[in-house]
Amino acid sequence: MLKRASTRRFAVLALVLALVSACSQRGGSGSGGTVEKPAIRVAIFSAVDLATFWLAQEGGYFKAEGLDVQADTGASGQEALTRMTNGQDDLALSTYTLFFLAKNNGTDVKLIADATSASPRSNELVTVPNSPVKTVGDLNGKRIAISSKNAASDVLTRSVMRDHGVGFDKVQWVPMPLPDMGTALAQGRVDAAYQPEPFLTQSAKVAGAFPVIDAASGSTQAFPLTGFGATAKWVEAHPKTMLAFQRAMLNATRASVDRARIEPLVVRNAKVDQDIASLMVMPAFGSTLDARRIQRVPDLLQQLGVVQTKLDASSMITPQASTG
């Protein structure tokens, strides 16, 4: 009798341990089972666009989906994209212009999740009082600071000039890191600069910079700026991991409507001063990708002659997860 009871207790204990083990491997309640790769690396660059990503990390949204997500911080969106395409990292946050240029150059990239779009007054062309640039009509023939050629800063600047009938054939484009633009303006090394937040507010503070025109107006109003991508090979091999990442980002984006939750993350992770963070205009955060909206990016690249053929955004967008 004692032997049978002991055997039953052992069987029950074994069942409990098996269930606990299975639960510990399950990728969250909505993950549909164990993710293929619980620990993933995401290539990023320090920007306000990462606010929802940081919230997903620190708010436990990744953990709830069975993911341990580590950030690999680089200097730019191009560096993040390179780290992802060469296999150093699993996913990358970059600008949509760079994703489509990579696709145009033969790299099979896929778009996983949205990150940000331009909100009013969050991305502007700015000048300073001693600059010869006073209005958008003064920009052609001047020295304009951009982050890099064919990046969002370049493309949006040319688009808004085109909308106002201003040529850009004689512009001297001056690529430089965004944090350096305020000083370059103050020293007269450039006449105008494309500035997103928080650099927009910082330049106003340190150099007295003021807006010439909102770069996200006219054809580029609410323009898609940044998103997360991966290689097609990675997506094919990790469909459950991808969906878990999407669900975590969707829930974090929903929570980001409370500015009090994301402002401290910007201060801590993007190294933005508290006074700047409290004044700056946040971008519009998103998560789910819409093909019609994202198509605006390759269409503008084609209109400006950056790419010669039409690129189909829908063919690059992966299936999108949903949550209840």
> What is the predicted pLDDT for the residue at 94?
94
Q: What is the dihedral of CA 15, 18, 20, 24, to 10 degrees?
A: -170
C-alpha dist (Å) from residue 306 to 117, 223, 297: 21, 17, 11
* Cβ count within 10 A of residue 218: 14
The tens-digit pLDDT sequence of the chain (324 residues) is: 434 444 444 444 444 333 333 333 334 444 446 999 999 999 998 889 999 999 999 999 999 999 999 999 988 888 999 999 999 999 999 999 999 999 999 999 999 999 999 999 999 999 999 999 999 999 999 999 998 888 889 999 999 999 999 999 999 999 998 889 999 999 999 999 999 999 999 999 889 999 999 999 999 999 999 999 999 999 999 999 999 999 999 999 999 999 999 999 999 988 899 999 999 999 999 999 999 999 999 999 999 999 999 999 999 999 999 765
Question: Taking the alpha carbons of 81, 83, 86, 92 in that order, is the dihedral positive or negative?
Answer: negative
Single pTM value for the model:
0.86
Sign of the CA dihedral with 296 first, then 300, 306, and 308 last: positive
Domain boundaries, the chain: 39-119+222-316, 123-220
For residues 245 and 239, give the distance between their C-alpha atoms in angstroms, rounded to a whole number: 10
DSSP codes joined into one string, 118-173? PPTTSEEEEE-TTSS--SGGG-TTSEEEESSTTSHHHHHHHHHHHHTT---TT-EE
CATH 3.40.190.10 for domain 123-220, yes or no, is yes
Nearest in space to 240 (alpha carbons), one of 26, 88, 9, 6: 26
Q: What is the pLDDT of residue 26?
A: 39
Domain 39-119+222-316 classification at class level: alpha beta
